[in-house]
A and B are shown apart, each in its own frame.
Chain A
Amino acid sequence: MRGLRTMVSNDLRLRIRDRSVFIFSLLVPLALMGVLNLSFGGGGTDSVDLQPAVVVASSENSGQLGEALLEALDTLPMMDVTVTRVAADEVSGETRDTGAELGLILPEGFTTAVTSGEASTVQVIEGDVASIETNVLISVVDGVLQQFAAGTVTATAGGMAGLPEDELTGLAQRTAAGPAALTLSEGQASAEQLSLSGSLVAGQTGLFLLFTVGFGVLGLLAEREGGTLTRLRSAPVAPGTIIWAKALVGFILGVVASSILLTVGSLLFDVSFGSPAVVGLLILAVAAAATSLTFVVAKLVRSAEQANVAQSILAMVLGVAGGAFFPLQTSGIVATLMDFNPISAFIRGLGITSGGGGVADVAVPLAIMLGFAVLATVISRLLPDRGARL
């Protein structure tokens, strides 16, 4: 133990004196977080102020539901919408000429069609300059139409059940115009979603952790090239002490750097990751996984240069695949494989803790990261040494 302690403290002193660990493990990721937040995160805030919008609409003889749709647009709480009514054949030109965000043509007999379960088409025309406001308006129209569609289904079902026609009409109108019976409420913990800023802080922390732990085990290759490994191996210390010391150094650096990045990132970008204790567990687990990966790298390379290249490639692949820059949408086997990416598990764990999740809630991400650590360590033991002579 004395030999291990001596080697670890000496290595940490060398890394601190070298200063490169500060640059590559703290300054660079923090700078990258800042740049990415400015680029994608709206300067550190996730909200967008919607501008006033104009909708040019035709609703002649569309009936009660057509008017309800336009009223829904007119009274949107999140943005100021002005609805200008024109004839159906003037909607397109008026939308273009006035620079309106959206044109909308409701067909004659729209309400009747909905309540009788018949097909009906509502035409939307995007403004010349498609904007976020246009997209919001289209989404609102789509949402209202889907609620109307529920009325159509109700009427159809009533007809099949043999209800009288006057009852069917009333039932369909109540369903279409009334409040939705079921609502979707988005919760943070259940969705495992971080805010954009939170994702960037977590992702960059995970990505640079893979580089930081390399300062430990890959330092062993530098010792070999610098000649000091011979002297270490001739010292009266237990076999395996050298490799364990290097791994411990990488692990310690990884844990410290990740803790600092998450803390500073939280303060700079107004993000909360939840319980520090549970976040600490996640950091320990992902650092263990990252450190184990460096064992594999060290077995596959012949020099420190090769090790740096291999480490960088692995870090970028795992980091990008894990969502260090932006979430990847995958499905099938690829999605399953992605689930075993420790960086992905780390970010997912932080999403859970940021929504108030505890230790039990992050059990799966923790198990994935620790399992990865065990698997990589076992693989590294089985791999033949290509020249690093560890």
Chain B
Amino acid sequence: MTAASQLQSAPILGVNSLVKRYDNHTVVNDVSFHIEAGETYGLLGPNGAGKTTIISMVAGLIPADSGSVELMGAVMTPTSTRVKGHIGLVPQELAIYPDLTAKENLMFFGRLQGLGGKELRQRTDLVLNLIGLGDRAREQTKKFSGGMKRRLNIGIGLLHRPTLLILDEPTVGVDPQSRNSILESVETLASEGMAVLYTTHYMEEAERLCDRIAIIDQGRIQAEGTRNQLVELTGGVDRIDLRGTGSTSNAATALRQLPGVQQVDSGPSNLLLTVHNGPGLLAPIVAEAGGAGMALTSVEIVRPDLESVFLHLTGKALRD
């Protein structure tokens, strides 16, 4: 969560009732959201949910069948040349030239964005250092690891200091170390005031980076809000998983009488409790179960997360 996100300002991006159809199949259906300056906005959904199609319309790659995209107050379409200069796009698939060096890649795309001369050289050096490729600047990128290519892919997107940085699944296929580096870079950019539109199907990335999140499935936004607002949609309950030996049926009966416990489901060697404020109730629950003859071997509190929210909203797991 960034401090900048707390500021009230005019939206950088306004997406209004976007619709996109292919062969009578609606892949984006009445999608609306906005992003303010310094805000990181996440589109969270499984593969095929419509995230990339939304981004393609926002970046002016394809036209919308209906609805509109406004960037800095100007309408974005595939022919909006000037407006495109405000956007830094990091496509899901690598968009770099393997026969060029990292520096040549950056300078080529920088020139296309209108940079030149001393400014271009300075920005190139700065970005190379930011993405940790300063010492590999003059190597052809075909010799790079997957993580290095991913970092360069992001670096190209932010070279010209865009008002809105669009990242489409930037960590797919990346090793954990490079993934963490990418996430840190996004956090740094957001803290510096850049608006970020981030798509992912990794729940933990959305939770870590995004000020607000839209949960999207089958082309529709199912819910939108901060992480906590979304979790509230599940009822704000925790789950406590008790495992042990002895009389689980007696323990279940006793725990159902305990204030704050909403539901107890019995398994062969465990009990699954649905409770309000799991951490606060943990001590009486352990005592009650022990008193009823259940010898506990493990206790786990499962707090609701975006995975739970997605499951709650769509009836299926995020990675289905």
Contacts and interface: CB of A to CB of B under 8 A. Distances in A.
A235 B112 contact: yes
A236 B113 contact: yes
B182 to A, nearest CB: 17
B95 to A, nearest CB: 4
A52 interface: no
Chain B, interface size category, equals: 20 to 34
B240 interface: no
A3 B115 CA distance: 11
A236 B96 CA distance: 18
Given A17-B99, A18-B99, A237-B81, A230 B112 contact: no
B112 A237 contact: yes
Most B-side CB within 10 Å, residue of A3, A231, A239: A231
A121 interface: no
Interface in B49-90: 59-61, 78-79, 81-85, 87, 89
A123 to B, nearest CB: 73
Interface string A1-23: 01100110010011001100000
Given A6-B112, A231-B89, A236 B82 contact: yes
Contact of A234 (B59, B79, B94, B100): B59
B108 interface: yes
A2 B114 CA distance: 8
Interface in B87-114: 87, 89, 91, 93-100, 108-109, 111-114
A20 B81 CA distance: 34
Contacts of A7: 112
A14 B95 contact: no
Given A7-B112, A10-B108, A230 B89 contact: yes
A249 to B, nearest CB: 14
Contacts of A3: 112
B78 A236 contact: no
B81 A238 contact: yes
B154 to A, nearest CB: 12
Given A227-B91, A227-B94, A234-B61, A14 B114 contact: no
B12 interface: no
Give the secondary structure class of A's interface.
helix
Nearest to A235: B112
A285 B22 CA distance: 41
A174 interface: no
Contacts of B114: 2, 236
B95 A230 contact: yes
A232 interface: yes
B18 to A, nearest CB: 17
Contacts of A2: 111, 114
Interface residues of A, number: 22
Contact of A235 (B94, B100, B113): B113
Contacts of B87: 234
B86 to A, nearest CB: 9
B242 interface: no
A386 B111 CA distance: 31
Contact of A6 (B78, B94, B108): B108
A64 interface: no
Main secondary structure of the interface of B (DSSP, over half): loop
Interface centre among A7, A234, A235 (most CB of B within 10 A): A234
Nearest to B78: A239
Interface string A43-77: 00000000000000000000000000000000000
A381 interface: no
Nearest to B116: A2
A227 B97 CA distance: 9
A236 B85 contact: yes
Contacts of B97: 10, 14, 226, 228
Nearest to A3: B112
Interface in A223-250: 226-228, 230-239
A14 B108 CA distance: 12
Nearest to B83: A236
Interface hub of B60, B83, B87, B97 (most chain A Cβ within 10 A): B97
B99 A234 contact: no
Contacts of A10: 97, 108
A49 B111 CA distance: 64
B213 interface: no
A6 B114 CA distance: 10
Contact of B91 (A17, A230, A237): A230
A157 B166 CA distance: 96
Contacts of B91: 227, 230-231
B81 A6 contact: no
A17 B93 CA distance: 24
B156 interface: yes
A14 B84 contact: no
A230 B82 CA distance: 17
A23 to B, nearest CB: 15
Nearest to B60: A234
Nearest to B157: A231
A238 B83 CA distance: 11
Nearest to A228: B95
B109 A235 contact: yes
Contact of A233 (B61, B83, B108, B113): B61
Interface in A194-252: 226-228, 230-239
Nearest to B96: A228
Contacts of B84: 234-236
Given A227-B93, A234-B87, A14 B99 contact: yes
Instruction: Find the residue from A14, A227, A235 having the highest chain B CB count within 10 A.
Output: A235
A34 to B, nearest CB: 31
B63 to A, nearest CB: 12
Given A14-B97, A227-B96, A236-B82, 4 more contacts: A234-B87, A235-B109, A238-B81, A239-B78
The 8 A-B pairs of least Cβ separation, nearest first, read: A236-B85, A231-B95, A227-B93, A235-B112, A234-B89, A236-B84, A227-B95, A6-B111
13 contacts: A2-B111, A2-B114, A3-B112, A14-B99, A14-B100, A226-B98, A232-B112, A234-B60, A234-B61, A234-B87, A235-B112, A237-B81, A239-B78
